[in-house]
C-alpha cells in the first residue's frame, strides 16, 4: 500500500512514547543504512541516506532527553522523510529482507525488530563496503571512516537511547533460527556486498537473538 500523501507535523508526534519513538527512528535509520548497498543504490540516494542518518542521530537523543521538545521531533521527522525517499529509490537490502521475514513469519513488532537487527547487519556488511561504511560512520559523528567506527558509533547511539537489543525479548527463539535462515537465504539481494551463507547468517541472527555485541559480526572479507 502506498499513500497518496504524507503529512509531516512534529506536533502530532509529541504523544508518541519515547520507546516507540526511538525504535521507529532507528527503523528510519535502517532505511538509510540499507539504501547504501541496496539493489538500486546510487550516489543520490546515498547522499540522502547520509543526511537522514545525521538528522536522526541528532534528533533521537533530543527526544529521549525531552519528549515534549519540538526540536528533536522535527529533526527526526526530517530524517524519516529522507530515509523514505532514499529507500524508495534504492530498494530493499539485506537488513529489510531479514526483518520482513522475521516480522511476517514470527509476528515480531516492526520497529523494534528493525532497531534490534540493524547493528548486526551493519557490522556484517560494512567491511565489504568501505565507502558506504565511511559515509555511515561520518554521518553518525565519527572522525574515522572505518567499518569498525561505523559499528561502534551506531552501537553507542543505541546504548544512549536505551534501544531494543535482543530479538528474544520479542518472542523469537533459538528453535526459530533454522527456518528464518532458510527463508532469508531465498530472498538475499544479489547486490549485497558480502556473500551470505547459511553459517554466517545463522551467526548474525543468533547474535541479534541474544543481544551479543554487534562487533562480533565484523570479519575480514
Between vectors from CA 108 to CA 127 and to CA 54, what angle results, nearest 5°? Answer: 45
Please check whether residue 24 is in contact with residue 79, taking contact to mean a CB–CB distance below 8 angstroms. Answer: no
Percentage of the chain surpassing pLDDT 90?
94
Please check whether residue 93 is in contact with residue 39, taking contact to mean a CB–CB distance below 8 angstroms. Answer: yes
Q: What pLDDT was estimated at residue 188? A: 96
Q: What is the pTM of this model?
A: 0.95
Map residue 195 onto helix, strand or coil: coil
Output the CATH code of domain 15-217: 1.20.1090.10
Q: How many CB atoms lie within 10 A of CB 9?
A: 10
Q: What pLDDT was estimated at residue 221? A: 54
Q: What pLDDT was estimated at residue 3? A: 84
Write out pLDDT tens, residues 39-58.
Answer: 999 999 999 999 999 999 99
pLDDT tens, N- to C-terminus, the chain (221 residues): 778 998 999 999 999 999 999 999 999 999 999 999 999 999 999 999 999 999 999 999 999 999 999 999 999 999 999 999 999 999 999 999 999 999 999 999 999 999 999 999 999 999 999 999 999 999 999 999 999 999 999 999 999 999 999 999 999 999 999 999 999 999 999 999 999 999 999 999 999 999 999 998 887 55
Write out pLDDT tens, residues 145-184.
Answer: 999 999 999 999 999 999 999 999 999 999 999 999 999 9
Cβ-based neighbours of 66, under 8 Å, separated by 6 or more: 72
**Cα 67 from Cα 71, distance rounded (Å):** 10
Give the number of residues written for the chain.
221
Q: What pLDDT was estimated at residue 113? A: 98
Write down the domain spans for the chain. 15-217
Amino acid at each position: 500500500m502506498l499513500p497518496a500523501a504524507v503529512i509531516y507535523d512534529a506536533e502530532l508526534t509529541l504523544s508518541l512514547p519515547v520507546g516507540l519513538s526511538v525504535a521507529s527512528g532507528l527503523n528510519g535509520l535502517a532505511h538509510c543504512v540499507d539504501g547504501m548497498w541496496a539493489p538500486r543504490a546510487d550516489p543520490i540516494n546515498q547522499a540522502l541516506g547520509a543526511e537522514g542518518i545525521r538528522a536522526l542521530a541528532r534528533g533521537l537523543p533530543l527526544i529521549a532527553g525531552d519528549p515534549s521538545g519540538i526540536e528533536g521531533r522535527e529533526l527526526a521527522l526530517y530524517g524519516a522523510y529522507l530515509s523514505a525517499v532514499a529507500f524508495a529509490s534504492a530498494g530493499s537490502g539485506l537488513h529489510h529482507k531479514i526483518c520482513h521475514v522475521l516480522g511476517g513469519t514470527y509476528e515480531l513488532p516492526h520497529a523494534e525488530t528493525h532497531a534490534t537487527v540493524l547493528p548486526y547487519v551493519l557490522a556484517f556488511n560494512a567491511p565489504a563496503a568501505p565507502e558506504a561504511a565511511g559515509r555511515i560512520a561520518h554521518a553518525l559523528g565519527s572522525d574515522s571512516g572505518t567499518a569498525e567506527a561505523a559499528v561502534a558509533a551506531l552501537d553507542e547511539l543505541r546504548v544512549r537511547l536505551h534501544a531494543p537489543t535482543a530479538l528474544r525479548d520479542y518472542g523469537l527463539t533459538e528453535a526459530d533460527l533454522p527456518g528464518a535462515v532458510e527463508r532469508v537465504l531465498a530472498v538475499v539481494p544479489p547486490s549485497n556486498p558480502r556473500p551470505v551463507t547459511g553459517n554466517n547468517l545463522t551467526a548474525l541472527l543468533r547474535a541479534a537473538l541474544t543481544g551479543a555485541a554487534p562487533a562480533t559480526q565484523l570479519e575480514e572479507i
